[in-house]
Structure 1
Amino acid sequence: MSALEPGVWGVLATPFTGPGLDVDTDSVARLARHYEEIGATGLTVLGVFGEAAKLASAERRAVLRSVCDATRLPLVVGITGTATAPVIEEARLAREVVGPDRLAGAMVQVNSANPGALAAHLRAVRAATGLGLVPQDYPLVTGVTITASALAQAVRDTPGVVAVKAESPPTPAAIATLVEEAPGVPVFGGLGGLGLLDELAAGASGAMTGFSVPEGLLACVRGWRDGGYPAARAAYLPYLPLVNFEAQARIGLAIRKEALRRLGLIAESGVRPPAAVMPGTLGEQLDAHLAATPKGT
């Protein structure tokens, strides 16, 4: 398995439609095509931002098929389970639908603070599926807190890890440790791009996150590649107010989906419970942020 290419791996939302909040595969495809058109390295599908934990197996299949039909970008597929058996089941579904040639990796949640237990879990998933693995360290979702050094040890002890997604604040410090202690394995930041500049300075290979204007993530990463911190900072500054606006607790998902709707990338902005909806009082400010955000790359 090859390590993931550096750059921006866009995390797709799962758009819903109608009063029943059915999966809107047309909007899924439109969003996937947009990422390809603006130059994303790859796509991350069925992640936390994609509300994968709220989807039935048939709906997950429908989302994956829509993305595969819409774009030729490589895919990382999120796995919602934490116990080994259900993780293997989800990963096999992804491999069946996407195919091994398109599936760049299965994003598996860190499920233990013990590096030996985590490595055993990852090795079991690898042995059962043959897939490259992207451990995702996201304690806000899993409730599992692991030190960066322990995670690096688990990565070193697991064949087939193609990247790490670091979302345990402070992410720049964690990324610096992972880059030093698990050399050769690319590390990507997340959390809506909130710490992207500092993550790149710490050695991140790019971003693997959702943001309603992913052109900003691309501009920042390209700026870093071409001109280091000054160029990346200058490229990212116009987008940072919107990045911050989308990072609001409880309603960040709803804000981002409403922004995608207002940008014409998805048809409706509904979120499935228990996610909170965006307060209508924020609509005018969202419009102001979007109007002030550069378009294009």
Structure 2
Amino acid sequence: MPTNPLSPGVWGVVATPFTASTMDVDEQSLANLVRHHRSIGVTGLTVLGVFGEAVRLSTAEKRAVLQVVVDAVDLPVVVGASSTSLAPVIEEIELAVEVTGDRLAGAMVQVNTPDPRLLASQLDTAHRATGAGLVVQDYPLVTGVSIGADALAEAVGEVGSVVGIKAEAPPTPPAIAKLAARTRAPVFGGLGGVGLLDELAAGSAGAMTGFSFPEGLVACVDAWRAGGYSAALEAYLRYLPLVNFEAQARIGLAVRKEALRRRGLLAAAAVRAPAPAMPPSLMEQLDRHLAAVDHVEK
């Protein structure tokens, strides 16, 4: 199994679609969504992350999601492990290895302790048990665990199997600057792309996040590579109002799924409880944002 550092660029974070009537996994919409990502030139896909509602899926559903993705496209995948405890994390990684095989670019695991030595030990144990390269996700909003960038760099530096870092502990730019300087693992920003320009300036390798127009993320990262800040700003500016709109606390997932539905990429915008649905009062404003982006896309 490959344990090479993740390639730079955009690793599109994939939503898990559900049917409106039964809330079952909508495999056809999922296949449509990942094919769209492939068509716009993403580097790879991130599946079963927070945006993929992995914590609300059964093991059988996780297996089905992974199978649909690897059958639909030939892209490398990062697969999230939703637990923060070592034993179930290993089980989740084993499932990813079983289904995706050599398509697995990395298993994404959460920082679950502020102690760098303990974190390094747990990462090493997970790798030795599964053989998978690891993407370390620092996302205290979800886990409730905060670790400083220096401590995270120390932990990652002790584990040769870390193939990437996903930095989502605000403020992300200074954290990314430290991590990029002190580790050999590529560092990716998340949080819906709100800080993408500043994260690229700080040394990130790209984006690993969900957005209803992932082509905007690709355009920004490609422009940064070709022409630096000015080119990236020009490419990304048109998308920023929608990026900001989708970043609303608590309802961001529902907003993004509704946007994907209106783009024709999902059949329904359903989210599983306890995630709240999108407020009807915001539908008109979403239409305005989508119309503005659609206009510049055409």
**TM-score (ref. length: structure 2):** 0.98
Task: Give the superposed CA RMSD.
Answer: 1.0
Establish whether residue 87 from structure 1 lines up as the match of residue 72 from structure 2.
no
CA distance in 2, matches of 1:199, 1:57: 34
Aligned-residue offset at 1:20 = 2.6
Aligned-residue offset at 1:48 = 0.1
CA distance in 1, matches of 2:66, 2:283: 31
CA distance in 2, matches of 1:296, 1:44: 25
Conserved? CA contact 1:79–1:106, under 8 Å: yes
Aligned-residue offset at 1:296 = 5.3
CA distance in 2, matches of 1:185, 1:122: 14
Conserved? CA contact 2:20–2:269, under 8 Å: no
Establish whether residue 245 from structure 1 lines up as the match of residue 245 from structure 2.
yes
Partner of 1:10, secondary structure, is: strand
Q: Which amino acid aligns with 1:152?
A: A
Establish whether residue 112 from structure 1 lines up as the match of residue 113 from structure 2.
yes
CA distance in 1, matches of 2:250, 2:22: 22
- The answer for the alignment partner of 1:178 in structure 2 is 179
CA distance in 2, matches of 1:244, 1:84: 34
Partner of 2:12, secondary structure, is: strand
- The answer for the alignment partner of 1:200 in structure 2 is 200
More deviation in 280-289 or 143-152? 280-289
Aligned-residue offset at 1:115 = 0.1
Q: How many residues align?
A: 295
Match for residue 29 of structure 1 among 9, 28, 31: 31
- The answer for the alignment partner of 1:77 in structure 2 is 79
**TM-score (ref. length: structure 1):** 0.98
CA distance in 1, matches of 2:215, 2:36: 10
- The answer for the alignment partner of 1:140 in structure 2 is 141
Establish whether residue 281 from structure 1 lines up as the match of residue 281 from structure 2.
yes
Conserved? CA contact 1:220–1:235, under 8 Å: yes
CA distance in 2, matches of 1:143, 1:14: 24
4+ residue stretches of structure 1 with deviation over 4 A? 294-297
CA distance in 2, matches of 1:190, 1:272: 22
CA distance in 2, matches of 1:94, 1:222: 29
Alignment of structure 1 residues 204-243 onto 2, 5 Å: 204-243=204-243
Aligned-residue offset at 1:180 = 1.0
Structure 1: unaligned runs, 5 residues or longer: none
Conserved? CA contact 1:175–1:199, under 8 Å: yes
Q: 1:215 to 1:36 in 2, by over 3 A?
A: same
Aligned-residue offset at 1:18 = 3.2
CA distance in 2, matches of 1:83, 1:47: 16
Partner of 1:163, secondary structure, is: strand
CA distance in 2, matches of 1:246, 1:278: 11
Q: Which amino acid aligns with 1:52?
A: A
Partner of 2:185, secondary structure, is: coil
Conserved? CA contact 2:19–2:26, under 8 Å: yes
Aligned-residue offset at 1:284 = 1.0
